[in-house]
Amino acid sequence: MYSVTNTSYKKNMMSSRSQNIVRNISSGTINRLVILVFEFIIRTVMVRTLGTEYLGLGSLFTSILQMLNMTELGFGSAVVFSMYKPIAEGDKEQICALLNIYRRFYHIVGCLILGIGLALLPFLDKLIMGSYPREINLYVLYIVYLSNTVMGYFLFAYRESLFIAHQRDDIRSNIRTVAKFIMYSTQLLILVTVRDYYIYVILLPLCTIFINLLQYVVSRRFYPEYTCRGNLDKESLRDLSKRVMGLFSFQVGGAIYNNADTIVVSAFLGLVILAKYTNYYSIMFALNAVLVILSNAMTASIGNSVATESIEKNARQFNELSSLFSWIIGWCSICLMCLVQPFMAIWMGKENLLPIDNVFCFVLYFYFWNFNPAMSIYKNAAGIWWEDRFRPFVGIAVNVILNIWWVQVIGINGVVLSSVVNTALISIPWGSFFLFKLYLKIDLKKYLIKQSGLFLASLIIGGITYFVCSLISGDYTLQSLFVRVCLCLTIPNMLYYILFNLLGEWNNLRGYICVFLKYFVRSRS
């Protein structure tokens, strides 16, 4: 009787995980589509109405303040991880205590970001090479961007941890979709009518306030039993502190890795080149955002699996997910290589195109930036941060030194390739070592050989697809772009299907695809 009940419980748990993943992916995809479509339209309209320099200026301020956000120290991820077990056990007091310390910490972080951000005011003009729009006040705009960054820390941003830990990231995505839709629609109206950049920017903190208030109201409705009260016991506080210290290096590394390039391009090459760079980066980031939706949707469910299933089962699932992500990331990289130039010519005009060698470097950057999300998912789900804490600092040193050196030698390619070297030669092998040694017990050498083989296979498949696409006659037009899209949908996927059939992995991949489609159809009905 017990075994039947236990089996039924596990089936229900697995079903719930799958449903949550599909629900999170669906809502996250809608959210990203709304953001991507509006950002695409707004960037286009801004170039036509205000000029290219405004795009570069907005990207510079965003990058500076995202780097300041590293002061959050990864505390949110550590709190969410600490919530998995008490949620599974129904320990409401522990969750309330975690929420309480999270709120206090966020207030401290908000003060730190505000202080550091204000201290950077005298150095703003030093971060821009050449000219910038003289009709605007750099310092006023920067303060508006700074207030947008700080606002959430003093309001209710900490309550989003409840949605994430309960595997209901779809609620958080829906809130942001509504708020962003209203903000982007208003910003677009302002650009088309009054063409005032100050009014355009002031909507950013207003949207942040709206998101936080709505998040608070909805979280109180779904989880009224959780309030900020109580304190953690010494053991729980010690475990949380250790996770935060381990995550700190990753927060710093991620902030610098993702934003240092923008600041270096602005300081050495100017706002016009930065605007071209960020046009390509925005497309790459859009593809990355789709993959992040997929990985974020899986994280809480895999965290539950890590807590309840055997290491052997999780290792098997990791290998299967690694193969699936190799296919997805390889295909996205090929699409980027074959489609970005004609798309950019239609979108921003031929005068804003970068050379094809720059595009190839961007594709390499995208591939290694998104290399096997399953590794990050399992490392975060297993809480392996402290042991791996030195890796980001080594990566930061290599990335910054190569950035400043190579940008003066080979321009944009130097900025992009420095990130490729950091990821391919430091981050991937080092991070894999700790995950496999401390949890999954997978042979690192075999894993790296397999992933290197899949990378070479992707280069060959990409080369074939790019060659076929280059045979299309005519200039960059919508018709030729449509033909290229059709080729990118068929040729690489057909070759990947043959590849994974030869490797004997297609049946496992087909199983994941079928499960996803089944629950997706069920969730829509």
Q: Which of 69-78, 281-290, 399-408, 509-518 has the highest mean pLDDT?
A: 399-408
Is residue 502, in this structure, part of any structural domain at all? Answer: no
DSSP summary character for residue 258 = H
Q: CB count, 10 Å around CB of 436?
A: 19
* pLDDT above 60: residue 255: yes
Is residue 231, in this structure, part of any structural domain at all? Answer: yes
Q: Copy the structure tokens of residue 175.
A: 């809130």
Dihedral over alpha carbons 236, 241, 247, 253 (to 10 degrees): 170
What are the tens digits of pLDDT across the range 109-136? 888 888 888 888 888 777 776 666 777 7
* pLDDT above 70: residue 88: yes
What are the tens digits of pLDDT across the range 279-328? 888 888 778 877 776 676 666 667 666 666 777 777 777 887 888 888 88
Helix intervals (H) in 135-225: 138-154, 160-165, 169-192, 197-222
CA nearest neighbour of 247 among 379, 150, 145, 138: 379
Q: Which of 177-186, 367-376, 475-484 has the highest mean pLDDT?
A: 177-186
Is residue 190, in this structure, part of any structural domain at all? Answer: yes
Instruction: Specify the pLDDT at position 301.
Output: 65
Flag whether the pTM goes above 0.75. no
- Measured over all CA atoms, what is the biggest interatomic distance in the chain, rounded to whole angstroms? 77
* pLDDT above 80: residue 169: no
Confidence of residue 523 (pLDDT cuts 50, 70, 90): very low
Instruction: Specify the pLDDT at position 321.
Output: 81
Confidence of residue 272 (pLDDT cuts 50, 70, 90): confident
Is residue 176, in this structure, part of any structural domain at all? Answer: yes
Count of the separate structural domains present in the chain: 1
Q: Copy the structure tokens of residue 48.
A: 């036509």
* pLDDT above 50: residue 7: no
Q: Which of 17-21, 198-202, 203-207, 468-472 has the lowest mean pLDDT?
A: 17-21
**Which positions ≥6 away from 129 have C-beta within 8 Å?**
266, 267, 268, 269, 270, 271
Is residue 48, in this structure, part of any structural domain at all? Answer: yes
Amino acid at 194: V
- What's the rounded Cα separation, in Å, for the pair 391 and 294? 25
Is residue 449, in this structure, part of any structural domain at all? Answer: no
- What's the rounded Cα separation, in Å, for the pair 379 and 439? 9
Mean pLDDT computed over 61-76:
64
Q: What's the domain range around 79?
A: 16-271
Mean pLDDT computed over 512-519:
59
Is residue 157, in this structure, part of any structural domain at all? Answer: yes
Q: Which of 66-75, 86-95, 178-187, 370-379 has the highest mean pLDDT?
A: 178-187
Is residue 166, in this structure, part of any structural domain at all? Answer: yes
* pLDDT above 50: residue 4: no
Residue recorded with tokens 């993943």: 21
Instruction: Specify the pLDDT at position 298.
Output: 67
CB 333 within 8 A of CB 366: yes
Q: Identify the residue with better confidence: 314 or 252.
A: 314
Confidence of residue 18 (pLDDT cuts 50, 70, 90): low
Instruction: Specify the pLDDT at position 137.
Output: 82
Q: What are phi and psi of 390, to 5 degrees?
A: -85, -20
52-68 vs 2-49: helix crossing angle, rounded to 10: 140
**Which positions ≥6 away from 297 have C-beta within 8 Å?**
20, 21, 22, 24, 25, 28, 169
